[in-house]
């Protein structure tokens, strides 16, 4: 369905997109962003599900099972830690509500 040149176009355009997204990131967000991009490649879960879906023999099923297991870990773990980190970013303005600052 996605073959040859069409895939090459997608690879190239997606590559430029990734480059463009990161190039204007302040240092303070490097860690959350790395974690966020780590979450995004958790999309491998979709492929792992298909790999297990097409498995016919037991050994294929075992490896497919491992694939889904690992991929789910990548996706869920990536989301949870990124969310936790980003949750903590506040401005001085928001601190005022607690009366903690100024």
Partner 1 sequence: MELIIQISYLLAAVLFILGLKQMSSPVTARRGIHWAGAGMVVATLVTFAAEEITGNEQAATNVMLIIIAIALGGGYAWYTGKRVAMTDMPQMIAMYNGMGGGAAAAIAAVELLKAQAAVQSGYASSVHDYLGADVAVLAILGAIIGTIAFSGSIVAWAKLDGRLNSSKLLPQQQLINLVLAVVLVILAINVYLSGSLNLIIAFFVLALVLGVFITVPVGGADMPVIISLFNALTGLAVGFEGYVLGNAAMIIAGTVVGSAGTLLTHLMAKAMNRSVSNVFFSGFGTGPAAAAAADVDGTQKEVQPQDAGIMMAYASQVIIIPGYGMAVAQAQHKIWELTQLLTEKGVKVKFAIHPVAGRMPGHMNVLLAEAGVPYDMIYDMEDINADFPNTTVTLVIGANDVVNPAAKKDPASPLYGMPTLNAEASQNVIVIKRGRGTGFSGVENSLFVADNTRMLFGDGQKVANELIQAVKEL
> Please, which of residues 44-73 interact with partner 1 by CB under 8 A?
44-57, 59-61, 63-73
CA dihedral 58, 53, 73, 84 (to 10 degrees): -170
Any contact of residue 3 with partner 1 (CB under 8 A)? Answer: yes
Of residues 15 through 34, those in contact with partner 1 by CB under 8 A are: 15-19, 21-34
Number of residues that bind partner 1 (CB under 8 A): 89
Sequence-ordered list of residues with C-beta below 8 angstroms from that of 75, at least 6 positions apart, any chain: 39, 42, 43, 44, 45
- In the complex, what is the shortest distance from the CB of residue 14 to partner 1, in angstroms, rounded to a whole number? 4
What string of DSSP letters covers 79-98?
HHHHHHHHHT---HHHHHHH
- In the complex, what is the shortest distance from the CB of residue 9 to partner 1, in angstroms, rounded to a whole number? 10
Any contact of residue 97 with partner 1 (CB under 8 A)? Answer: no
């Amino acid at each position: 369905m996605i073959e040859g040149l069409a895939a090459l176009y997608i690879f190239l355009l997606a590559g430029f997109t990734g480059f463009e997204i990161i190039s204007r990131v302040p240092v303070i967000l490097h860690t959350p962003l790395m974690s966020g991009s780590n979450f995004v490649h958790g999309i491998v879960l979709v492929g792992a599900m298909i790999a297990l879906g097409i498995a016919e023999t037991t050994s294929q099923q075992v490896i497919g099972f491992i694939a889904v297991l690992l991929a789910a870990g990548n996706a869920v773990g990536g989301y949870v830690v990124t969310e936790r980190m980003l949750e903590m970013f506040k401005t001085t303005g928001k601190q005022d509500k607690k009366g903690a600052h100024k």
